[in-house]
Amino acid sequence: MDARTFLCMEPVGDNLHWQMRVEPQLTTPGNFLFGGCGLGAALVALEEASGRPTIWATGQYLSYAPTGSLLEWEVILAVVGGHITQGRAVGSVEGREILTVNAALGEGQVDLTGVWVEPPHVASPEECPPRFLPAIFRNTIMDEVDVRVANGRLLDEMDGEPGPPDSALWARVPGHLSPSAATLAIFGDYVSGGSSQPLGRRARGRSLDNTLRVVRLQPTEWVLVDIRMHALAGGYAQGVAFLWSQDGDLLATASQSFVVRLLDEDDRVTG
């Protein structure tokens, strides 16, 4: 199963028009489309329409696509150059705009490479514990992504004591052996979950935006989501994630602004 299938994306007439049914596997505990799935779906459409790989994309979330709704996509290729296409994808439900994704797609011509950051030293996915999930996360995207905690506290270990701003998760969508830009967009939306670590409180986020910058796609079963929270003020937080392969290759970087929401204690379950 590829990202297009997982995200329920289907073309409508041509590769500039698409639609997706917002199935429970693509949603948040609030019963609306998970932001990373929205960004990923847009990248499926933009890459198909342009015939080029993603370099950079950012999504702005304007409203919610409820579980069961039909999200319709329109792709606009604003500028098609010799090496780069600049475009956008607009997602709407019943004529109401839900999110807009702007992107640059293409490949560079300079044969030079360099990575000047390093992955954290963590145990392998098989040696890391599964992430604790409160009951409200059941039957959502969180059930579809296999996540192991590589650095940081489990949610059921939060005791109100502030901790370090950095954490890390191993993540995979079973069956997705080679990450695509769309798959990495889903993992990039895990930045918001990192707010629990410095707060010492069980928290989740509602995305205002997601940005993905692709470095290089490499085959890997697991992706290490290296989250670094930057700030929280007035209820709004921001942070970044470096997305690494199991071999230590930098695949992409992701950044996000989001509204922080504290989870109620009655959401707690064991497991």
Q: Which residue ranges make up each domain of the chain? A: 3-106, 125-267
CATH class held by domain 125-267: alpha beta
How does DSSP assign 231-268, residue by residue? EEETTEEEEEEEEEETTS-EEEEEEEEEEEEEPPGGG-
Q: What is the pTM of this model?
A: 0.93
Q: What angle do CA 159, 187, 238 make, to 5 degrees?
A: 60
12-39 pLDDT, tens digit each: 999 999 999 999 999 998 899 999 999 9
pLDDT at 270: 31
| CA distances, 167 to each of 63, 96, 150, 217 (Å) | 29, 36, 8, 23
Question: At residue 198, what are phi and psi to the nearest 5 degrees?
Answer: -70, -25
Q: Is the Cβ–Cβ distance between 192 and 205 less than 8 Å? A: yes
Residue type at 249? D
Over 60: is that where the pLDDT of 111 sits?
yes
Query: Max Cα separation, the chain?
Result: 56
Over 80: is that where the pLDDT of 271 sits?
no
Question: CATH: 2.30.40.10, 2.40.160.210, 2.60.40.10, 3.40.50.300. Which one for 3-106?
Answer: 2.40.160.210
112-144 pLDDT, tens digit each: 899 999 999 999 999 999 987 777 778 899 888
142-185 pLDDT, tens digit each: 888 999 999 999 888 899 999 999 999 999 988 765 689 999 99
Over 50: is that where the pLDDT of 267 sits?
no
